[in-house]
Structure 1
Amino acid sequence: MTNPLSAQSLADPVAFLPGLHGQDALARYWLSQVTLRLRREICWLWRERAQQGGDDAALPPAVDGALAALDLLRYEHDKRAFFADDITARYLSERIASAAPPDLADAPRGSFGWVAQQLELAPVERFVLALALLPGVDSAAGQVIASCLNDLSRTSPNLALAQRLWDEPDELLHCFDPAHPLLRHGLLSSAQPHDWNSALQVPVLVARELLFPAGRLPSALQAVPVAPLASGLEPAAARIRSALTAPRGVQLLPLLGAANAPLAETAAACAAMAGVETLQPSAALPREHLAQALSAAWLRGCALYLPARMLADPTAHDGGLEAPPLPALPLLVFIGVHERSALRGLGETLPALDVPPPDFTQRLDCWRQQLPDAGLAPLLAELARRFRYERTAIERVASELASLGRPPSAGELFAAARANLDLGALAQHVPPRFERAELMLPAAQAAQVDELITAMHNLTRVHHDWGTARAWNEGGLSALFAGPPGTGKTMAAEAIAAELDLPLYRIDLSQVVNKYIGETEKNLRRLFDAADSADLILFFDEADALFGKRTEVKDAHDRYANLEISYLLERMERFKGLAILATNRRKDLDEAFLRRLRFVVEFPLPGVEERLRIWRSVIPEGVDASDLDFEFLAQRFALAGGHIRGVVFNACLQSAAEGAPRRLDMPAMVRALQREYDKLDRANSLDQFGPYAALVATHRTRR
């Protein structure tokens, strides 16, 4: 009978795999204890099962589990005698008894020795931790453990194996429960801590720290760079210093800021003032591995930053968060959120820190750093005012422009900045189709539109050179375009966008207005938060649907509807771009809202002179209109510009037969006019059509 283990192969066995040591002395000691005991157990199992008729040339073969359990007591005396008499087993026992644990005085933070000190682990607890640690760091240990467990598919140890290997089995009964410090701090993981046969594991990120404390960061964790601390956040350092020294469990400190705000960098700056580094889990880290990231941060003595998406509650429909795992872990966790309402579900937190957006001076400094070319200097002030981006967005725009390999033109500069806008599904971008010169308005209204354009051109100078930015919070402008359908309200908005070179977004009311209580307000918040990042034009068509009069409160729906209007009024005042609201029913608008508007432009039905210009201007280029009597059309038919466009378009459709010349004549135009009146359900007489009355009479007879 030949023992597969020999005394000569057992020199300093920290693990089964040669060359594996780690950097922590206490970890080496306890891993060696585990390895020696596993080797001794294998010796006994090989002897026991060989006596039972097993194959003496292999590791102990699997046997019936119940029989193996019964044999524990049956062969207890034989096992003790074997440990004393067998040369290999006796050698292993002597090594187990003679080895002494090292001094823990200089154990570095996060190491096995440091953990043993901090958690005041008894020897049996240190042994169990080393037993769970071994297969995670030694690829050769799994099959040895499986042989000891009598199941070749189970390569992770459990408490039952620890109890068999430890000299005092009773000690396992008194120190392990679901709230044990090793479990509470995430150093051990077990699906069922109260089950003797549940596998014990040390998470991989924790294992690295225990063996190689303060080593290179794993790819699952990243050091957060420290950003310049925004003014007003300096007192946060004292709060953070207190939280870091508190002996309590996980402390959550929310940071509130815009979508692109440098929340992680701000958290790192606050922690750095307290002398602590901040880590952040990689975006690739699966959610189920978040607990070991928290434990690794605690072992390193760092704070941890978590974006809200990593704590999003998959069962919540309101964007709420759930608390991070390991609530008893003494760790400071920053939570980056964009809406205070998301903090519901986190439980108790420290007072939230509001991360303010960069002001004009800070944005301008950032643009100057990223675009130092002297030729661009005159444009940067306008760029800093029109695009209220965070530093990360400015750096992204500058990086895109750097790929040109040359200084960008003014058009390329503003186009690149504008490309970072994203209002989602709540608004649609509208490319302007009209120029300012195409607007056919009475003199008073034309002057108002010109004043609005001038005001937007001068807004940067007035806010930041004349000093109104502080008093008006860098506020933008709002205007109401009121008038009957077709009078040019939408056309004017497009012409203003073209004149100001600003993007125009039409608000999709079907996406914004929601029948469920509170949802309309949430949609509006998302819309305004996105729109506030840059100068743009928000065009609310049929604005009375959103900005109607507040009603007497009769039920919960009335109360929430009034809250939505109040919220709209408040956000309109803070909106920094240009908001244009169009309505056919000005009287239905809330008076409090009307007082907050900077411009109110009434779009009347055009007079004869305006209608004449409209008729002439809407004829498509290249179409022969010499047969049309424009004076007659302008004088006889009091139509708005939109309706005139519809008449001309319909006449073109009816005149463009195959092979026909591109020409419009009065019969086609008169028939199209009658169709338009029919569509509008407006009465007209044959006398109104003058010499063309017979054509209309024929049309009415056929109808």
Structure 2
Amino acid sequence: MTRRPRTSGADGTAYLFARLGLVAARVRRLVAERRRDDPDPDDAFRGLYVSAADAERLAATPSATTETGCGDPSDAQALAEVEETADRAAADGTEPRLRRLARGFGLTALDLEFLLVALLPDVEARYERLYGYLNDDVSRRRATIGLALELSGIPASAVAGRSRLDGSAPLVGGGLLLVERADQPYLSRSLRVPDRVAGYLLGDDTVDAQLAELAWPAEEDEDAASIGDAAARADLASRLGAALRAGVHLGYLRERSGAAADDLAIAALVTAGWSVLRLDLDALTAASAPADLLAVAVREARLRGAGLVAGPVQALDPAGKPAHARLLRRVADQPVPVLLTGTVEWDPHWSRQAPLLVTAAPLDERGRARLWRRAVGARATDRPAGWLDGVDPARELAPYLLGPDQLRRAAQAADQLALFAGADRVDAGHLRAGVRGQNAGGLARLARRIEPGVGWADLVLPDPVHDQLRELALRVRYRDRVLGRWRMRPGGGRGRGVLALFAGDSGTGKTMSAEVVAADLGLDLYVVDLSTVVDKYVGQTEKNLERIFTEAAGINGLLLFDEADAIFGKRSEVRDAHDRYANLESAYLLQRMESFDGVAVLTTNLRANLDEAFTRRLDLIVDFAMPDVAQRRALWDRCLGTELPRDEDLDLDFCAQNFELAGGSIRACVVTAAYLAAEAGRPVRMSDLIGAVQREYRKLGRLLLESEFGAHQPRTEPARVH
């Protein structure tokens, strides 16, 4: 009588142990038969050598091509009883894992027998030695192909049995069974169940260790389900889920800046009844054997009944690297639903089948605020009362393009910064610092990053200019509402960028104004270095600009093109090849600026040199004039500051009235005077300012008139030799 296996296990392991018990019974019967037919069953060196008598006996044994003799009529009855018990468990909602695995991988009854034969020594150690005995080799403690066929009642020459162990068959192709020792004769090759598969059947849901930092299970985020336009998002996820249920197995979700394509893909798979496994294509590409790891990831997904959410696609370079193109086709061609995510346009050559193309829209300001409150609130359980009362997230997050993952990381960073500062609440400064910490470093290699350190109070400008600068800030702050929700910039491939031109003489405050606007919005200022852009080789300037715009799309910053007329100049009549290619650069910039989603400011000293097509695409043009007397007086006072010691003879009214200087020149004069005072070890005197003005006039190439200095004539001091 067959010994009954254990029947406990709410996770379905009772069915597994029952099936293994049937295999174990056949193993014991086969061992008994071998001993009965063995002329020397007590040979102490059995399995270590082949004697002459053994060779003669083996040679005289007829070939067994039709039957193996290990079957037992009780097997069918015992199997029927086990299956009946499993049917009842499945009806109660507890389907055994072995059955789920068979259904998910398309295994036949014979496939299951082979799998169980190979698994038995991993579950009960004594069967290692019994397998060694049946293999007639104590060093081979795993089932061989020949032994598996024999225990399953299949003739060794039967194609129907051998074909189930091919590399393309479900068992081996799906990674459930490994055929080892390929250099051995076919029937002597060992069969092994990977540890992850054995662990899964025994109730372990730990992700395969080979997939560390490469793939991980994901669940639909309840917070993400209600952010942004929740109704529109739920509708899109529902329609995508319905397509998956109807048989769509490949989709590409292209996300715009600040979108949540991954969350949308997860919601769609959950809606369709799948669990989710996230796959990092960036980490996969960097792995030493990406194709093998992809096979492991797909096996993990199939074990879990999961679909794959794989991205970002832009981590691959299918056009430039054939290996990446092959890998992407492998990812797309899998027996589980695959939803790819990325920011680039889909190329039809990237997969053998056409994907369902979906665009994931960015979060709006309400969605970002809602997610921020939940992300910070989740960490505020042991924080002081009112921890979240110091910031208005709807207002402060409005200028930023942030996806859910970036928002969560920014919330964590802001929470930590508030704790580090010993604050009693999270404020706008912590929020902004947390957001800036999410900026990628790629743009810093192409532009100079400036963390703004000035504010509106530092600007000395006419009121109309002030108003225009504040209008620029509010355009950035409310662009989601106006350009997105209210659709005031539809069609034409136009982005949601905000573009402004600051025009005026050198030193009139253009760069500082850009810094003030950036500070008001909580953005970093990135000053584009023209030396990294302009190139003498044809087409290279456009490539450099494209790199800048691409990197700028991934950060929350204000892009400043200083001396913009160098690259945004007028197109001219084509007289030679140089004119033609210069016009191509301008045409490219016209198109690229219109599709830009970020914030950019162009500054120029010569507004007339800019192409009119650029000015039409600008949201604001701010003219910076030379300061008048009152403004110059304020600039002198502001530049001297509060820390620099002043002598009583300073006459700032005289300086403002007599010296027509821009703010930049006034600052230069004050700095020069400060150095003179520092060297003399005394406060700044009027004579220091007059001497500094004299030097500045000479630097600017302006004519020096004695009448301009009045009673404060500059003194020419002989150079001192130390």
TM-score of the superposed pair, with normalisation by structure 1: 0.71
Residues 189, 203 of structure 1: 8 Å contact kept? yes
Corresponding residue for residue 212 of structure 2 = none
| 2:612 paired with 1:598 | no
Corresponding residue for residue 382 of structure 2 = none
1:424 partner letter? A
1:257 pairs, out of 249, 255, 258, with 255
Identity %: 23
Q: Distance in 1 between matches of 2:104 and 2:513?
A: 71
Residues 146, 156 of structure 2: 8 Å contact kept? no
Q: Distance in 2 between matches of 1:265 and 1:359?
A: 15
Q: Distance in 1 between matches of 2:332 and 2:238?
A: 23
Corresponding residue for residue 381 of structure 2 = none
Residues 256, 339 of structure 1: 8 Å contact kept? yes
Query: C-alpha offsets along residues 337-380 of structure 1, whole Å, 9 cap, x if unaligned?
Result: 23336997455342222222233454455567778989959945
Query: C-alpha offsets along residues 442-462 of structure 1, whole Å, 9 cap, x if unaligned?
Result: x4xx41222431564598789
Query: C-alpha offsets along residues 62-82 of structure 1, whole Å, 9 cap, x if unaligned?
Result: 44xxx79x998644267799x
| 2:170 paired with 1:181 | yes
Q: Which residues in structure 2 correspond to 1:105-504 (within 5 Å)?
A: 111-112=97-98, 125-138=111-124, 141=127, 157-159=143-145, 162=148, 168-171=155-158, 173-190=162-179, 196=186, 200-209=191-200, 211=201, 217-219=205-207, 222-225=217-220, 227=222, 228=225, 231=232, 234=235, 237=238, 240-241=241-242, 243-244=244-245, 246=247, 251-257=249-255, 261-280=259-278, 288-308=292-312, 322-323=327-328, 329-340=334-345, 345-363=350-368, 366=371, 379=392, 381-383=394-396, 385-387=398-400, 389-391=402-404, 412-413=427-428, 415-416=430-431, 418-421=433-436, 422-425=438-441, 426=443, 430-441=450-461, 443=462, 446-453=463-470, 456=473, 469-472=486-489, 477-497=498-518, 500=520, 502-504=522-524
| 2:86 paired with 1:99 | no
CA positional deviation for 1:487: 2.0
Cα distance change, pair 345–260 in 1 and its aligned pair in 2 (3 A): same
1:99 partner letter? D
1:218 partner letter? T
Residues 258, 401 of structure 2: 8 Å contact kept? no
Residues 493, 580 of structure 1: 8 Å contact kept? yes
CA positional deviation for 1:469: 3.5
Cα distance change, pair 259–111 in 1 and its aligned pair in 2 (3 A): farther
Corresponding residue for residue 651 of structure 1 = 673
Alignment: residue pair count? 647
CA positional deviation for 1:170: 0.6
Q: Distance in 1 between matches of 2:714 and 2:372?
A: 69
2:309 partner letter? Y
Residues 121, 127 of structure 2: 8 Å contact kept? yes
CA positional deviation for 1:328: 6.7
| 2:24 paired with 1:32 | yes
Query: C-alpha offsets along residues 27-86 of structure 1, whole Å, 9 cap, x if unaligned?
Result: 4266436744885699699977975xxx45xxx4544xxx79x998644267799xxxxx
Q: Determine helix, strand or coil for the equivalent of 2:166.
A: coil
TM-score of the superposed pair, with normalisation by structure 2: 0.70
Greater mean deviation of Cα atoms: 419-428 or 502-511: 502-511
Q: Distance in 1 between matches of 2:171 and 2:528?
A: 54
CA positional deviation for 1:276: 3.7
Query: C-alpha offsets along residues 271-307 of structure 1, whole Å, 9 cap, x if unaligned?
Result: 3443444344699999655434423433554433334
Query: C-alpha offsets along residues 298-323 of structure 1, whole Å, 9 cap, x if unaligned?
Result: 35544333343898579977996733
CA positional deviation for 1:564: 4.6
Greater mean deviation of Cα atoms: 276-285 or 641-650: 276-285
Q: Distance in 2 between matches of 1:545 and 1:482?
A: 14
Residues 234, 270 of structure 1: 8 Å contact kept? no
Corresponding residue for residue 565 of structure 1 = 589
CA positional deviation for 1:186: 3.0
Greater mean deviation of Cα atoms: 617-626 or 316-325: 316-325
What root-mean-square deviation, in Å, do the aligned CA atoms of Structure 1 and Structure 2 show?
5.5
1:102 partner letter? L
CA positional deviation for 1:118: 8.1
Q: Distance in 1 between matches of 2:27 and 2:638?
A: 93
2:552 partner letter? L
Cα distance change, pair 352–118 in 1 and its aligned pair in 2 (3 A): closer
1:24 partner letter? L
1:303 partner letter? G
1:452 partner letter? L
Cα distance change, pair 76–502 in 1 and its aligned pair in 2 (3 A): same
Q: Distance in 1 between matches of 2:72 and 2:532?
A: 72
Residues 694, 714 of structure 2: 8 Å contact kept? no
Corresponding residue for residue 76 of structure 1 = 58
Q: 5+ residue gaps in structure 2? A: 7-11, 209-215, 378-385
2:340 partner letter? I
Q: Determine helix, strand or coil for the equivalent of 1:170.
A: coil
Q: Distance in 2 between matches of 1:349 and 1:522?
A: 29
Cα distance change, pair 240–477 in 1 and its aligned pair in 2 (3 A): closer
Cα distance change, pair 157–567 in 1 and its aligned pair in 2 (3 A): farther
Residues 518, 525 of structure 2: 8 Å contact kept? no
Residues 237, 271 of structure 1: 8 Å contact kept? no
Residues 305, 336 of structure 1: 8 Å contact kept? yes
CA positional deviation for 1:332: 0.9
Cα distance change, pair 43–513 in 1 and its aligned pair in 2 (3 A): farther
Cα distance change, pair 151–93 in 1 and its aligned pair in 2 (3 A): closer
Residues 652, 664 of structure 1: 8 Å contact kept? no
Greater mean deviation of Cα atoms: 584-593 or 286-295: 286-295
1:505 partner letter? L
1:524 pairs, out of 528, 546, 549, with 549
Greater mean deviation of Cα atoms: 318-327 or 330-339: 318-327
Q: Determine helix, strand or coil for the equivalent of 1:306.
A: strand
